[in-house]
Amino acid sequence: MTFWLLSMALGLALAALLVREALRAPREAPSHPDMAIYRAQLDELDRDEARGLLTPDAAAPVRAEIARRILEADRKSGARSEVRAEGSALPLILATIVALGCGGALYMYLGSPGYADLPRSQRLAASERIKASRPTQAYSEAAAEKARPKPAEPPADFAKLMDQLRAAVAKRPDDVTGLRLLAENERKLGNLSAAARAQEQLVRTLGDKATAEDRARLADILINAAGGSVSAEAEQAIISTLNVDPTNPTARFYAGLTEAQTGRPDLAFNLWNGLLQNGPPDAPWVPFIRARMPMLADAVGTDWRDPTAKSPDAAAVAAAGQMSATDRMAMIRSMVAGLESRLMGGTGGTPTEWAQLVTALGVLGEKDRQTAALAKAETALASDPAGLAQVRAAASAPAGTAP
């Protein structure tokens, strides 16, 4: 707010100076360009009369004519000065008012006048405080355990095998194969805390021989056991994974999640945008990232376009160009119908796909189908406010425009 007030004060002060200068009367009205000639003629007339070349009677009418011309030139000069003084002030005043108004409106649209000043150094310090004050892994696991539904009881024979596996690992805590099996099966049973302890023991046992996948799996289990929160312990597993393999997609995803949870949307945006461009397109976290990228882009102050969004290939575009208008419209309607069938049929889709559907139906003039698609999207994206806002914006866009 201090910056906002200071900028407003400086703008008003500058405007006041400009207006005052515009209203100030000129110190000396500019003289007519012929005035010096007339004065020189008067001087020459006086000299001729003094030398006897002209009699007073002959000089009198000439002097009167020169005096008349001087008065006329002086009148014209004063009139021009008055017009200049009066005509230059109003446009400058209006331009100043418009500039101040446009500047204020632009700041209200792009800026955040209601927020306190927060320099970059303070934002970084706040992020570090958030990281330092995170709950421990044990606390987060206990809280998440209370909130999670109790896992279903496994079949009796499988439960017996699990008891035997736990007993065997307890006797041989350095058995790598046993630890892998225990961590995997505890997770399948929903015993996430037990799975996390087994995976931790596995990574400790392997030491430097632990692969990037072993370390990434540990981070994944720790974060899921904590209900999605990235603790300091989980962050260390992420860092350990990236030290071994900087391209590991699981670790890159969780690194972005760490930054998003600790006040660094800029780093989260860069990490996740790169993962969408270079990571596996069918990874389970892709819909999660897509739904949150517009919100991160707003926080960063940039535009974002989904790099994974598919566009027609060159052959399809060329084929469409050779079609008649009727055939081309039929093809478009067929493509829209296919997207509509997939999304409305219960399989669902991403917010971008829902937005494409409601936009296409609006362009085609299918208002009833567009309304039905929007209602279905409201239900499918009820837990994703950012994605739902994207679809609503597409539905409210004028026909023939993209959201």
Q: What's the confidence (pLDDT) of residue 389?
A: 78
> Where does a domain end: 263, 296, 329?
263
Select from 196, 203, 194 the least CA-distant residue to 176.
203
Residues 161, 236: one domain?
yes
**Among 202-206, 279-283, 294-298, 362-366, the least confident range:** 362-366
| Averaged pLDDT, 365-391 | 81
| Averaged pLDDT, 138-153 | 89
Q: Label residue 314 exposed, middle or buried (CB < 10 Å: 0-12, 13-18, 19+).
A: exposed
Residues 68, 165: one domain?
no
pTM of the model as a whole: 0.54
- Tell me: pLDDT of 311 over 50: no
Phi, psi (rounded to 5 degrees) for 77:
-65, -40
Confidence bin at 110 (pLDDT 50/70/90): low
CB 224 within 8 A of CB 201: no
Residues 139, 244: one domain?
yes
What is the C-alpha to C-alpha distance for residues 17 and 19, in angstroms, rounded to an integer?
6
Residues 90, 141: one domain?
no
CB 306 within 8 A of CB 314: no
Select from 89, 67, 83, 68 the least CA-distant residue to 20.
89
Q: pLDDT for 216-240, tens place per residue?
A: 999 999 999 999 999 999 999 999 9
Q: pLDDT for 377-388, tens place per residue?
A: 888 877 777 777
| Averaged pLDDT, 277-306 | 84
- Tell me: pLDDT of 255 over 50: yes
What domain range is 204 assigned to? 135-263
Residues 147, 191: one domain?
yes
249 is a domain residue: yes
213 is a domain residue: yes
Task: Supply the angle between the helices 286-300 and 351-363 in degrees, to the nearest 10.
Answer: 80
Residues 183, 226: one domain?
yes
235 is a domain residue: yes
Confidence bin at 204 (pLDDT 50/70/90): very high
CB 79 within 8 A of CB 32: no
Q: Give the H or E element holding residue 142.
A: helix 137-147
- Tell me: pLDDT of 29 over 70: no
**What integer best gives the mean pLDDT of the chain?**
79
Tokens 């008012």 correspond to what residue? 97
CB 261 within 8 A of CB 242: no
Compare 174 and 6 and report the one with higher pLDDT.
174
401 is a domain residue: no
Residues 168, 219: one domain?
yes
245 is a domain residue: yes
Residues 103, 42: one domain?
yes
- Tell me: pLDDT of 253 over 90: yes
Q: Which of 239-248, 272-281, 352-361 has the highest mean pLDDT?
A: 239-248
Distance from the first to the final alpha carbon of the chain? 32
Compare 25 and 288 and report the one with higher pLDDT.
288
- As a whole-number percent, the residues of the chain with pLDDT over 70 amount to 76
Compare 348 and 193 and report the one with higher pLDDT.
193
What is the C-alpha to C-alpha distance for residues 105 and 94, in angstroms, rounded to an integer?
16
Residues 145, 247: one domain?
yes
- Coil, strand or helix at 285: coil
Instruction: Encode burial over 252-287: b for 16+ CB neighbours within 10 A, e otherwise.
Output: bbbbbbbbbbbbbbbbbbebbbebbeebeeeeebbb
Q: pLDDT for 73-84, tens place per residue?
A: 777 665 555 544
- Tell me: pLDDT of 310 over 70: no
| Averaged pLDDT, 26-53 | 71
Q: What's the confidence (pLDDT) of residue 32?
A: 60
Tokens 């690992």 correspond to what residue? 169
CATH value at residue 225:
1.25.40.10
Confidence bin at 61 (pLDDT 50/70/90): confident
What is the C-alpha to C-alpha distance for residues 112 and 115, in angstroms, rounded to an integer?
6
13 is a domain residue: yes
- Tell me the DSSP string of 198-237: HHHHHHHHHGGG--HHHHHHHHHHHHHHTTT---HHHHHH
Other CB atoms within 10 Å distance of the CB of residue 86:
10
Q: What's the confidence (pLDDT) of residue 112?
A: 55
Residues 93, 173: one domain?
no
**Among 162-171, 217-226, 325-334, the least confident range:** 325-334
182 is a domain residue: yes
What is the C-alpha to C-alpha distance for residues 333 and 212, in angstroms, rounded to an integer?
47
Query: What radius of gyration do the chain's Cα atoms show?
Result: 40
Confidence bin at 89 (pLDDT 50/70/90): low
Task: Supply the angle between the helices 137-147 and 192-206 in degrees, to the nearest 10.
Answer: 150
Residues 238, 139: one domain?
yes
Q: Supply the DSSP symbol for 381.
A: T
Overall number of domains in the chain:
3
Compare 184 and 375 and report the one with higher pLDDT.
184
Residue 191 contacts by C-beta under 8 Å, 6 or more apart in sequence? 151
186 is a domain residue: yes
Compare 243 and 17 and report the one with higher pLDDT.
243
- Tell me: pLDDT of 323 over 70: no
